């Protein structure tokens, strides 16, 4: 079953320096029927103006994944971590017992990114931060795993999270079909281009919930870039 969330149906936020599309209830956008998708709590599609960003603020007991689509974001936290996550990079922060961090666009260009929050299956863990590259070459067959809490996925280049969830992603050339297995249920993000899923067309900025399916096939109608988030249900 597929439930498409078109870009124009998403929640909106505009703080001048920060413009957001909210896939789920967040900040001033509230929808009682759209609080989360299983253990997936937040997907924010953010645009951050040059030399602006998020001042130091706290997080606790949340797995926070950031995929930078264009530009670069600078991270700093009270654990001593400092890093610049550039376009095509993915960063993960396990907030655990508590962490304070800031994120700034210290460049002269606008930054676009996905901010993703997944609820952990273990609370009170030691906070941590890490980052890796997003695959730059177009893929075929199936999308590679980028982030996972599953034992079978633990290897170099895969970012760890405290949840039985996985995030797959990659670029696919026009007319290419990729097919990925689904363990639980999946949320798909169209980062670039235009794709077709089960005869339905999705374009840049759209999302879709996939439930009661063991796999999903995506056909690129143009050169495209997508993310598939496989997450457990609540309960």
Could you read off the pLDDT of 15-54 as tens digits, one per residue? 999 999 999 999 989 988 899 999 999 999 999 999 999 9
At residue 136, the pLDDT reads: 87
Task: Compute CA distances 119 → 13, 130, 231, whole Å.
Answer: 23, 18, 10
Q: Comparing C-alpha atoms, which of 192, 190, 135 is closest to residue 158?
A: 135
- Pairwise CA distance, residues 143 & 68, whole Å: 18
Q: pLDDT band at 135, cuts 50/70/90? A: confident
Q: pLDDT band at 112, cuts 50/70/90? A: very high
Long-range contacts of 194-197 (CB under 8 A, 24+ apart): 194/220, 194/221, 194/222, 194/224, 195/219, 195/220, 195/221, 195/224, 195/226, 196/221, 197/2
187-235 per-position pLDDT tens digit: 999 999 999 999 999 999 999 999 999 999 999 999 999 999 999 998 7
pTM metric for this prediction: 0.96
Domain positions in the chain = 2-231
CATH of domain 2-231: 2.60.120.10
Mean local confidence (pLDDT), 100-115: 97
Residues 6 or more apart whose Cβ sits within 8 Å of residue 157: 132, 133
- Pairwise CA distance, residues 163 & 62, whole Å: 10
- Pairwise CA distance, residues 72 & 213, whole Å: 36
At residue 169, the pLDDT reads: 96
At residue 133, the pLDDT reads: 87
Task: Compute CA distances 127 → 13, 30, 62, 93, 130, whole Å.
Answer: 29, 29, 10, 7, 11
Residues 6 or more apart whose Cβ sits within 8 Å of residue 185: 37, 38, 209, 210, 211, 212, 230, 231, 232, 233
What residues form DSSP beta bridges with 117?
42, 64
67-106 per-position pLDDT tens digit: 999 999 999 999 999 999 999 999 999 999 999 999 999 9
Element (H, E) at 124: none
At residue 235, the pLDDT reads: 73
- Pairwise CA distance, residues 41 & 24, whole Å: 7
Q: pLDDT band at 111, cuts 50/70/90? A: very high
Q: 3-state DSSP helix/strand/coil percent for the chain, to nearest 5?
A: 5, 55, 40
């Amino acid at each position: 079953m597929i439930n498409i969330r078109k870009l124009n149906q998403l929640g909106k936020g505009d703080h001048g320096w920060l413009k957001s599309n909210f896939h789920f209830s967040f900040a001033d956008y509230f929808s009682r029927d759209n609080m989360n998708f299983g253990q997936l709590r937040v997907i924010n599609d953010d645009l951050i103006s040059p030399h602006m960003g998020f001042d130091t603020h706290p997080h606790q007991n949340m797995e926070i994944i950031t995929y930078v689509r264009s530009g670069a974001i600078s991270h700093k936290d009270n654990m001593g971590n400092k890093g610049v996550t550039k376009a095509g990079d993915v960063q993960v922060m396990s907030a655990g017992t508590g962490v304070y961090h800031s994120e700034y666009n210290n460049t002269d260009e606008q930054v676009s990114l996905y901010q993703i929050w997944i609820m952990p299956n273990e609370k009170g863990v030691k906070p941590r931060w890490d980052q890796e590259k997003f695959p730059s070459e177009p893929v075929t067959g199936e999308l590679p795993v980028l982030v996972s809490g599953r034992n079978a996925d633990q290897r170099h280049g895969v970012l760890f999270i405290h949840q039985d969830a996985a995030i797959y992603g990659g670029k696919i050339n026009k007319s290419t079909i990729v097919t990925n297995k689904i363990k639980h249920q999946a949320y798909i993000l169209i980062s670039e281009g235009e794709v077709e899923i089960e005869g339905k067309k999705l374009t840049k900025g759209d999302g879709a919930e996939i439930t009661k399916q063991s796999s999903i096939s995506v056909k690129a109608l143009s050169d495209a870039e997508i993310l598939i988030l496989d997450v457990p249900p609540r309960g």
